Chain A
């Protein structure tokens, strides 16, 4: 059930990305980020918001943060610098980081 839900979301995201050569929209990035966090932390997507503080409010350790970063790099085909990772505080920051990296 969870696996099919994951596949469905992945397909939806990749289809959206394939049909557009432009950088991904912010909403699309938010959707992928929260989907990945949901998988990593075994939480519902509805439990997240742009304002959710990554380290204070989520049980995310440093390895899981890097898992998120490595998976986002793979998904959006971009490079994320260590400096950018160090600025992350909220989920909104993660979305901004990907949005900025995809547009530069």
Chain B
């Protein structure tokens, strides 16, 4: 077990383009950190630099306080689970798991190897498949063998490179839980790369959001969600993603294409000197006005809008409202959409309403929006003008404490 320190890491490829640009990240011992971002964000490159598979152009990488920039992978004592599992097709499951130990002749006795392999196989429910070849295993089983190979190493850290992206949705959910429990039980420092934000939100103690090789924000999933640092993080985290309504602040009133919204003084203050701002409103900040009781109603504002259509998903329901976009922000939103791998920007407001609601497309509905949770962004810089850094830090600190408690509990269980 070890801490990992990433300091001003840079990776430049042939054409001089930095795939990773000045990324710094301190990962604590036992922590589960997720690297998330759209394709081309450099998240896998960071991981491969930690593993030692990519040279570091500049910056420093420390594992357990020791500089490892120049060390080959085998001396870094990290285990990695690859996207396509990287199982050795000519070896049985047993030999695949034993492989790392076999590389160090004399270090492990035959009995030790056997014991470790069987224990890992038991943990991962692979015992009955030990004699089979990888080709004869299902996707989930292959995934487990790859994990087994990592476990027996007793490595300082686990590195996961999109380990679940080749599995179908159902299996992915199941394996996600297994990975999470395993990490908690072993309390091994883990770095996990994914583009799937469900994985990012559920697995990570902290999530590092990257865009085009640059670190955007590192925080607990809740802080990312509630106090995003900028437009990109706000848009990337959450599904369906945050609505960005163009508007301008006059007094304490935010003028938007769907109507005027009253802000509190603190919010209005932040956006007042900007000519145009983007109001970030998550779909669940809305509700059908009739569903909101009086005490709640006061925290927000009611407006009417014509719904273009609705989507009913069983446990939730989304309504869509068309609006006219402000030409001053179309460029910003278009490039944001591109950054997020989305096809194109949409000029539709997504509104989460109760699944039981009977409103339909074409209806004119009375909607309520919780104005207190609205964030204002500066379209020019992308900066979140209304971010409460203190509240955010509190959320991340909470996550840290949660983790430590869990680790202690797991430790107690192990020793009992």
- Is this pair of chains taken from one and the same complex? no
- The residues of B with any CB-CB pair to A shorter than 8 Å are none
Q: Which residues on A are within 8 Å of B, measured CB to CB?
A: none
